[in-house]
């Protein structure tokens, strides 16, 4: 959609703004199929304008989820106006600094922001089941065995096949490992809570020292450990083991149990396979080449996790031999 048309739409829905002062500038945002713009209304006032793809179902639920989060006291951008026919959303501008942007700051500074992010996602995880049920119609499919297997296949196809160019026969042998199918079934049997689904450093904005969740349109019933794995094993930001353990204990308010840690490992494997599949797909199919730079670190993290899971010795050996 042309900038002039976006300007016209903004003036129509926000008639009190000074027409001559409104300026719109595009914002580069990851591999999303949505387009983001910063709408400057005056020297002190700005909004974010999102143009989303009407054909993608999860985009249609962004507004309902944002309003749901606000209702339950979870920090997220406030919605100002939604034009469902045009696929346009005007929302609160929370600034440009995300958690990723603080990656080079001392841990003492970053820790407070990470803890704030964990506070927000913990509120989501602790919502009662009755509240989760009321949101069901606005959410994508829950995490079940089929979705966990899809994540694994996404990795095999787009990371191993497309990026590393591994032969089909080798990939099929890995895909057929009984332990991988058992993991999908085991995770699917555990009680679910609402999860963000993409809870990583670039989807957490920091304003006035407080964390705000963004890009939550993939929210669905799943496991809290999946969100934790997304943050603690984030390929964009390397955490030391001490930092990792500190944040985990902060979230749990105590030393986590052996069962909790085992589920976290399995979720970390799933999350890293999903992320690696996404990097291969976005980098090579969508031509967002910058995603490819994160593959080596993510593979290393995946190998560290897989090496601690019984029944995946063949997978671990394979990962060790990747170029």
87 shares its domain with 104? no
Specify whether the CB–CB gap between 302 and 318 falls below 8 A.
no
Q: Of 61, 92, 123, which residue constitutes the final position of a domain?
A: 92
User: In the prediction, which pLDDT does 189 show?
Assistant: 98
CA dist., res. 309 & res. 319, Å (int):
14
112 shares its domain with 72? no
Helices and strands in the chain: count of H runs, count of E runs? 12, 9
Calculate the alpha carbon distances from 101 to 73, 97, 113, 185 in Å.
Answer: 25, 6, 11, 37
179 shares its domain with 206? yes
User: In the prediction, which pLDDT does 256 show?
Assistant: 96
206 shares its domain with 265? yes
CA dist., res. 79 & res. 48, Å (int):
10
Q: Of 57, 92, 127, which residue constitutes the final position of a domain?
A: 92
Question: Could you list the residue range(s) of the whole structural domain that residue 267 is in?
Answer: 99-320
User: In the prediction, which pLDDT does 28 show?
Assistant: 80
315 shares its domain with 176? yes
238 shares its domain with 214? yes
- The first and second tokens of residue 55, run together, are 């054909």
User: In the prediction, which pLDDT does 1 show?
Assistant: 55
106 shares its domain with 170? yes
Report the number of distinct structural domains present in the chain.
2
Question: What are the residue ranges of helices labelled H in the chain?
Answer: 3-13, 62-71, 107-125, 129-134, 145-155, 168-175, 178-188, 224-232, 241-252, 258-284, 295-306, 313-320
64 shares its domain with 123? no
In terms of DSSP bridges, do strands 46-51 and 79-83 run parallel, antiparallel, or are they unpaired? unpaired
CATH of the domain at 41: 3.30.200.20
210 shares its domain with 157? yes
Q: Of 44, 66, 92, which residue constitutes the final position of a domain?
A: 92
User: Which regions of the chain are under pLDDT 70?
Assistant: 1, 19, 30-31
CATH of the domain at 125: 3.90.1200.10
Neighbour tally for 58: CB within 10 Å: 18
80 shares its domain with 116? no
pTM: 0.94
Sheet holding 79-83, edge to edge: 23-27, 35-40, 46-51, 88-92, 79-83
Query: Which tens digit of pLDDT belongs to each residue from 44-79?
Result: 788 999 998 877 777 778 899 999 999 999 999 999
Specify whether the CB–CB gap between 204 and 117 falls below 8 A.
yes
User: In the prediction, which pLDDT does 74 show?
Assistant: 98
156 shares its domain with 299? yes
Nearest to residue 172, comparing CAs of 321, 279, 323, 314? 314
76 shares its domain with 142? no
User: In the prediction, which pLDDT does 19 show?
Assistant: 65
**CA pseudo-torsion sign 142, 277, 59, 73:** positive
């Amino acid at each position: 959609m042309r900038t002039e048309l976006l300007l016209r739409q903004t003036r129509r829905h926000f008639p009190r703004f000074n027409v001559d002062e409104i300026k719109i500038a595009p914002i580069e945002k990851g591999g999303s199929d949505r387009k983001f713009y910063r709408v400057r209304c005056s020297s002190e006032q700005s909004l974010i304008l999102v143009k989303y793809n009407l054909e993608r179902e999860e985009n249609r639920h962004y507004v309902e989820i944002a309003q749901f989060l606000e209702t339950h006291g979870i920090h997220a951008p406030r919605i100002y106006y939604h034009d469902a026919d045009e696929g346009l959303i005007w929302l609160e501008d929370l600034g440009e600094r995300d958690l990723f942007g603080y990656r080079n700051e001392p841990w003492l500074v970053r820790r407070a922001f990470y803890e704030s992010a964990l506070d927000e996602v913990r509120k989501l995880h602790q919502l009662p089941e009755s509240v989760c049920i009321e949101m069901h119609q606005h959410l994508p499919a829950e995490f079940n065995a089929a979705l966990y297997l899809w994540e694994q296949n996404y990795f095999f196809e787009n990371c191993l096949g497309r990026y590393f160019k591994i032969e089909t026969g080798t990939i099929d042998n890995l895909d057929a490992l009984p332990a991988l199918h058992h993991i999908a079934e085991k995770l699917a049997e555990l009680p679910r809570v609402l999860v963000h689904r993409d809870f990583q450093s670039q989807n957490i904005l920091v304003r006035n020292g407080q964390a705000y969740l963004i890009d939550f349109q993939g929210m669905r019933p799943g496991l809290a450990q999946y969100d934790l794995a997304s943050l603690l094993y984030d390929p964009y930001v390397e955490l030391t083991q001490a930092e990792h353990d500190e944040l985990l204990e902060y979230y749990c308010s105590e030393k986590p149990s052996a069962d909790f840690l085992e589920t976290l490992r399995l979720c970390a494997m799933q999350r890293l396979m999903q992320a690696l599949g996404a990097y291969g797909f976005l980098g090579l199919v969508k031509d967002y080449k910058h995603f490819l730079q994160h593959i080596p670190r993510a593979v290393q993290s995946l190998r560290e996790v897989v090496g601690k899971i019984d029944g995946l010795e063949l997978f671990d050996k394979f990962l060790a031999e990747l170029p």
